[in-house]
Structure 1
Amino acid sequence: MGEKPKPEARLHSIVHGYVQGVNFRYYTIRAAQQLGLTGWVANRWDGTVETVGEGQREALNRFLAFLHRGSPHSAVQRVDVEWETPSGEFERFGVRYL
């Protein structure tokens, strides 16, 4: 079995709007896994959702497009984005509790 390719990029985002209590984390995990990303998603105390994703740049751009759309019952107002150097520390994409 081949090794997983090293991630090209890391996307760190904060999603603002009506994004908690609407299955946003579930849909985020599903989108990330379909795109082959690793990292995490977490609800924050201020009502936003934070994500860190690593993978291929094109997959991360598609993930970012999902974050702007959101889950079916969410209402995304804005997404703050930082592109960072990937660390390769993640094995999968899941929920993190902050």
Structure 2
Amino acid sequence: MIGRHLRITGRVQGVGYRYWFIGRAKARGLTGWVRNRADGSVEAVVQGPEDEVARIVADAASGPPAARVDRVEAIEQPVDPAFNQLEQRLTC
């Protein structure tokens, strides 16, 4: 199990990015959270098997059809056993 903290920038709000991300992450069996940021980016914490986390990080670079992803920053994140699903959080 590994964890990653993601920051996704570009045109990623108002295009269904979070819902798309949640669907992809849940399909891969990942846990954590995703939210919009006040600066227009999307932030997420994901954790699970190393290969599935690597896949969601790669997927994050494309996003749904209406999105335009400029950058995905992925930083190592400690695994938190309290996460048992992938949830959407409020914008911060």
3-state SS of the aligned residue for 1:36? Answer: coil
Pick from 4, 15, 33: which aligns with 1:11? Answer: 4
Tell me, yes or no, if the aligned pair for 1:54 and 1:88 is still in contact at 8 Å.
no
Other-structure match for 2:64: 71
Q: Distance in 2 between matches of 1:94 and 1:29?
A: 8
Unmatched segments (≥5 aa) in structure 1: 1-7
- Quote how far apart the aligned CAs of 1:51 are: 0.4
Identical pairs, percent: 36
Q: Distance in 2 between matches of 1:72 and 1:48?
A: 17
State how 1:18-97 maps to structure 2 within 5 Å.
18-97=11-90
TM-score when normalising by structure 2:
0.95
Runs of 4+ that moved beyond 3 A = none
- Find the structure with the greater CA-based Rg: 1
Unmatched segments (≥5 aa) in structure 2: none
TM-score when normalising by structure 1:
0.90
Q: Distance in 1 between matches of 2:82 and 2:51?
A: 20
Amino acid at match of 2:89: R
Q: Distance in 1 between matches of 2:80 and 2:61?
A: 24
Q: Distance in 2 between matches of 1:36 and 1:74?
A: 23
Q: Distance in 2 between matches of 1:37 and 1:10?
A: 10
Cα RMSD (Å) of the superposition? 0.7
